[in-house]
Structure formats: structure tokens, C-alpha cells
Amino acid sequence: MSTSRIIHRAQVVWRTERIIAELQLKRLLGNLGLQALAALALTFALLAFEISTYFALIQTWNAGESAAVLGLCNLLIAFILTLVALRRPASRELALAKEVHQDALTALTAELEQAETVAPPSLRGALESAAIPLLLPLIPLLIKRLRKHTGVSAASETK
């Protein structure tokens, strides 16, 4: 048990948390870029198709019915494209970063438990005062995981 090992474990947890956040942000920006590009391409394609389809439909239906049918087709296409963009799988780097993060959290927890059992009260107080500022950034993560766990258990209870 050493303070430097505990600090090292906390630093690893902090770094992995930062890496996970960066990878998730990159993925989110990538999805957003793909959705914007798809929307732009869809806009130009639909404009050309709509003009030709509108002229074809107006010969059999009136103008209002033709426009409504084309609007519904546009909504359906946009919905399908959005679903495709949202279902992209997570990257392998993100899965690896999450695994390393979980290992670092497990190691940090084990180190803290070991330090708590063998440390004299004065050293324990010093560790607590040093660990609190290091662990403060982890509080939102803990709350998020507890909410996910509560949501999963509530969903399984309703089945």
C-alpha cells in the first residue's frame, strides 16, 4: 500500500475517463457530419424527384393531394436515414478505452480498500483529504451509472 500507487490509479481512471469522453465526442461529431451530408444530398435529390413527381401526379390528382403524398414520402426517407445514422456501431477504440477504464476503477477501489484496512488513522485522514479532490470528477460518472443501473433494473422488473 502506497500513496503513490493510489494516486497513480486515480490518474489512470481520470485519463481513461477523458479518453472515453473524447472518443464519444468524435463519434458524435462524425454522426452529425454524416447526417448533415445525408440531409444535403437528400435535399437536392428530393428536389429533382419532387418536381418530376409533382408534374406526374398533378395529371391524375389535384395539387393538394399531390403535395401531401410527396411530403409524406419525404418524412419517411428522412426517418430512415436518421435511423441508419443512429445505429452505427461504436468503435473498437471506445470499447477498449471503456475496458481499461473499468480495470483502472477496479484497481483503484482495491487499492483504497487495502489502504483503509492497513493504514493508521493519521494516514487514513491524509489519504481521504488527498482522494476527495481526485475523485470529485468521478461523481457525475457515478450518478450516470447509477441512473443507467436503475433504468435497466426498472425495465427488467416491468417485463
Tell me the pLDDT of the chain averaged across its residues: 79
Q: Which residues of 12-24 are buried (b: 16+ CB within 10 A; e: fewer)?
A: bbbebbebbeebe
Residue 69's identity, in one-letter code, is: V
Torsional sign, CA 7, 10, 12, 14:
negative
Q: Which range, of 6-20, 71-85, 133-147, averages the lowest pLDDT?
A: 133-147
pLDDT: is 69 or 132 the higher one? 69
Q: Give me the helix-helix angle, 121-135 and 3-57, nearest 10°.
A: 20
Q: Which helix (H) or strand (E) holds 140?
A: helix 139-158
Given this model, what pLDDT does residue 5 score?
Answer: 79
Q: Looking at the predicted structure, is the pLDDT value of residue 1 above 60?
A: no
What's the whole-model pTM score? 0.38
- Backbone angles phi and psi of 90, in degrees to 5: -70, 155
Cα(121)–Cα(156) distance, rounded to whole angstroms?
43
